Amino acid sequence: MIKSPVAKSLYNFVELDVSEIGNYPEGIIDICDRQVHGLIVKNFLSQEDISRVVSRLTRKGPFPGSDFGDVLIYGPALYVCDADITKYCEEAVDFRKYCRELFSGGADFETRLTEVLGAMSGGRPVQLPVTPDGYAYTPTTIRVLKTGQEMGWHFENQFLHCTPGYRHLETIVEPNDHLSYFVVLSAANAGGELILYDLEWSETEWPDKEHGGTRKNGLVNGQLIASVMEDYDQMFLSPEAGSLVVFDAGRILHRVSAVEGSRRRITVGGFLAFSKEREKLFYWS
């Protein structure tokens, strides 16, 4: 079990330096087992690395793709795919190349991610999912929020259980421990906080598609989540640039508040889940 969490507000998050990850060899498992709710790994990327990447992102990239509320996402996003994810996988090939070029001259993002996650996954290998046809998923996407923009409320379990693009993943991952990971490349001057609500997936209901179910009409006590969520207690997190955050996003309702000031909030991230027997850890976006 992980000990010495940061001061508890609503959920327990452990803050550590990347040099300390060897002290938490089962940190990812502890999140899944609800010993803690998240990890904040400082200095995952150096300030030199993130400055280089952010300066390159000031030029228009080749992957301005899908929207999630106001957030612009660079790279193919699985949650907007239909059941046939062939096009998504084909775009993933190009986006992985783009990311290697984006991070060139410093730590390769995908290599760095698998090393750090591997050190906290109890010795399990860390892998991209691969379709039965041999296509690899994309490892990450880049999310950009400008002044006044925010990311709307959601559970990651909505993607796993309510979107057709996840049909293959449902057959290979553990369905109850769907985590989120992201690295802060640029923090907003103000706002842009990760807000966690005292409302969990198990307390909500989701009408199936035959009864008008969508990703946004979940209910809690018979009322739409969006209409009552602000009545629940909240916890605010503002990780500094260079930090890796891994948290129990599948089960905890969360959103990102509107960015204030001129500096963009830029993160690179995706999702994590163990295989059904926990023999490996999958990551994708």
CATH at 114: 2.60.120.620
In a domain, 22, yes or no: yes
Q: How confident is the model at residue 73 (pLDDT cuts 50, 70, 90)?
A: confident
In-domain check, residue 192: yes
Cβ atoms of 137 and 168 within 8 Å: the answer is no
Q: How many residues does the chain have?
A: 285
Q: Could you tell me the CA-to-CA distances from 146 to 70, 184, 245, 259, 261 in Å, in that order?
A: 9, 14, 21, 6, 9
Q: Which amino acid is at 89?
A: C
Torsion of CA 171, 32, 71, 257, to 10 degrees: 150
- Looking at residue 149, its pLDDT comes to 93
pLDDT of 45 above 80 = yes
Which domain range does residue 33 map to?
13-284
Residue 69 is assigned to a structural domain of this protein: yes
Rounded alpha-carbon distances, angstroms, from residue 238 to 40, 86, 90, 184? 10, 36, 34, 9
Whether 27 maps to a domain, the answer reads yes
Q: What total number of domains does the chain contain? A: 1
- 210 confidence band (pLDDT: 50, 70, 90): very low
At residue 63, the pLDDT reads 53
Q: Report yes or no on 8 lying in a domain.
A: no
What integer pLDDT is reported at residue 72 of this predicted model?
A: 80
Q: Model's pTM, two decimal places? A: 0.92
Confidence of residue 2 (pLDDT cuts 50, 70, 90): very low
Q: Tell whether 36 is covered by a domain.
A: yes
Q: Does residue 4 form part of some domain? A: no
In a domain, 128, yes or no: yes
Residues 3-18 pLDDT 10s: 333 444 699 999 999 9
Which of 64-73, 197-206, 246-255 has the weakest average pLDDT?
64-73
118-160 pLDDT, tens per residue? 999 999 999 999 999 999 999 999 999 999 999 999 999 988 8
Residues pairing with 39 in the sheet: 14, 246
